[in-house]
Amino acid sequence: DQQVKQNSPSLSVQEGRISILNCDYTNSMFDYFLWYKKYPAEGPTFLISISSIKDKNEDGRFTVFLNKSAKHLSLHIVPSQPGDSAVYFCAAPNAGGTSYGKLTFGQGTILTVHP
Protein backbone atom coordinates (compact mmCIF):
# COMPACT_ATOMS: atom_id res chain seq x y z
CA ASP A 1 0.00 0.00 0.00
CA GLN A 2 1.72 3.12 -1.28
CA GLN A 3 0.62 5.76 1.22
CA VAL A 4 2.79 8.49 -0.29
CA LYS A 5 2.90 8.72 -4.05
CA GLN A 6 4.95 10.71 -6.49
CA ASN A 7 3.41 9.91 -9.83
CA SER A 8 5.97 11.69 -11.99
CA PRO A 9 9.21 9.71 -12.16
CA SER A 10 11.02 12.58 -13.83
CA LEU A 11 10.78 16.29 -14.63
CA SER A 12 12.90 18.37 -16.98
CA VAL A 13 13.03 22.16 -16.62
CA GLN A 14 15.00 25.03 -18.13
CA GLU A 15 17.27 27.01 -15.85
CA GLY A 16 15.49 30.06 -14.42
CA ARG A 17 12.02 28.57 -14.80
CA ILE A 18 9.79 27.11 -12.11
CA SER A 19 10.00 23.45 -11.11
CA ILE A 20 6.86 21.95 -9.60
CA LEU A 21 7.13 18.56 -7.95
CA ASN A 22 3.95 16.85 -6.84
CA CYS A 23 3.10 14.38 -4.12
CA ASP A 24 -0.16 12.71 -3.11
CA TYR A 25 -0.95 10.83 0.07
CA THR A 26 -3.72 8.51 1.12
CA ASN A 27 -3.37 8.39 4.90
CA SER A 28 -5.50 11.17 6.38
CA MET A 29 -3.66 10.74 9.70
CA PHE A 30 -0.50 12.27 8.23
CA ASP A 31 -0.15 15.76 9.62
CA TYR A 32 3.43 16.69 8.76
CA PHE A 33 5.31 16.42 5.51
CA LEU A 34 8.93 16.76 4.50
CA TRP A 35 10.80 17.09 1.24
CA TYR A 36 14.25 15.59 0.82
CA LYS A 37 16.73 16.04 -1.99
CA LYS A 38 19.13 13.25 -2.93
CA TYR A 39 22.23 13.36 -5.09
CA PRO A 40 23.73 10.11 -6.41
CA ALA A 41 25.99 8.31 -3.91
CA GLU A 42 24.78 10.54 -1.06
CA GLY A 43 22.11 10.24 1.59
CA PRO A 44 18.88 12.25 1.38
CA THR A 45 19.18 15.85 2.57
CA PHE A 46 16.30 17.59 4.32
CA LEU A 47 14.95 20.49 2.29
CA ILE A 48 11.73 21.86 3.71
CA SER A 49 8.74 20.74 5.75
CA ILE A 50 5.14 21.72 6.36
CA SER A 51 2.69 21.07 9.14
CA SER A 52 -0.95 20.37 8.36
CA ILE A 53 -1.98 23.50 10.24
CA LYS A 54 -0.45 25.50 7.38
CA ASP A 55 -1.10 25.49 3.67
CA LYS A 56 2.19 27.05 2.64
CA ASN A 57 5.77 27.18 3.84
CA GLU A 58 8.52 29.13 2.16
CA ASP A 59 12.30 28.98 2.45
CA GLY A 60 14.23 30.98 -0.09
CA ARG A 61 13.67 29.54 -3.55
CA PHE A 62 11.67 26.63 -2.14
CA THR A 63 7.96 26.73 -1.31
CA VAL A 64 5.79 23.82 -0.28
CA PHE A 65 2.02 23.98 -0.67
CA LEU A 66 -0.37 21.65 1.11
CA ASN A 67 -3.95 20.96 0.04
CA LYS A 68 -5.40 18.77 2.78
CA SER A 69 -8.79 18.28 1.17
CA ALA A 70 -7.09 16.90 -1.93
CA LYS A 71 -4.39 15.10 0.07
CA HIS A 72 -1.85 16.73 -2.19
CA LEU A 73 1.34 18.68 -1.69
CA SER A 74 3.71 20.30 -4.10
CA LEU A 75 7.22 21.68 -3.99
CA HIS A 76 7.95 24.78 -6.06
CA ILE A 77 11.51 25.77 -6.89
CA VAL A 78 11.87 29.28 -8.31
CA PRO A 79 14.11 29.99 -10.09
CA SER A 80 15.44 26.55 -10.89
CA GLN A 81 19.20 26.14 -11.08
CA PRO A 82 21.32 23.34 -12.60
CA GLY A 83 22.53 22.47 -9.09
CA ASP A 84 18.96 21.59 -8.19
CA SER A 85 19.20 18.53 -10.44
CA ALA A 86 18.66 15.61 -8.07
CA VAL A 87 16.03 13.14 -6.91
CA TYR A 88 13.33 14.70 -4.75
CA PHE A 89 11.38 12.67 -2.23
CA CYS A 90 8.34 13.68 -0.27
CA ALA A 91 7.90 11.92 3.05
CA ALA A 92 5.54 11.79 5.98
CA PRO A 93 6.16 10.58 9.53
CA ASN A 94 3.64 8.28 11.15
CA ALA A 95 1.18 10.24 13.23
CA GLY A 96 1.27 7.84 16.13
CA GLY A 97 1.18 4.24 17.19
CA THR A 98 4.14 1.95 17.42
CA SER A 99 5.87 3.31 14.33
CA TYR A 100 5.99 6.90 15.50
CA GLY A 101 8.69 8.83 13.76
CA LYS A 102 9.29 6.46 10.88
CA LEU A 103 9.20 8.18 7.53
CA THR A 104 7.13 6.89 4.65
CA PHE A 105 8.70 8.03 1.41
CA GLY A 106 7.31 8.53 -2.05
CA GLN A 107 9.10 6.88 -4.95
CA GLY A 108 10.94 10.05 -5.85
CA THR A 109 11.03 12.40 -8.85
CA ILE A 110 14.22 12.95 -10.82
CA LEU A 111 14.55 16.66 -11.54
CA THR A 112 16.86 17.76 -14.33
CA VAL A 113 17.49 21.48 -14.76
CA HIS A 114 19.05 22.33 -18.12
CA PRO A 115 21.35 25.37 -18.45
Q: Where does this chain bind another protein (CB under 8 A)?
A: 32, 34, 36, 41-46, 49, 51, 89, 91, 93-94, 98-108
* Minimum separation from the CB atom of position 98 to another protein (A): 6
* Minimum separation from the CB atom of position 44 to another protein (A): 5
Q: Which is nearer to another protein, 43 or 115 (CB)?
A: 43
* Rounded distance between C-alpha atoms, residue 84 and residue 78, angstroms: 10
Handedness of CA 44, 58, 105, 54 (dihedral sign): positive
Q: Which is nearer to another protein, 1 or 115 (CB)?
A: 1
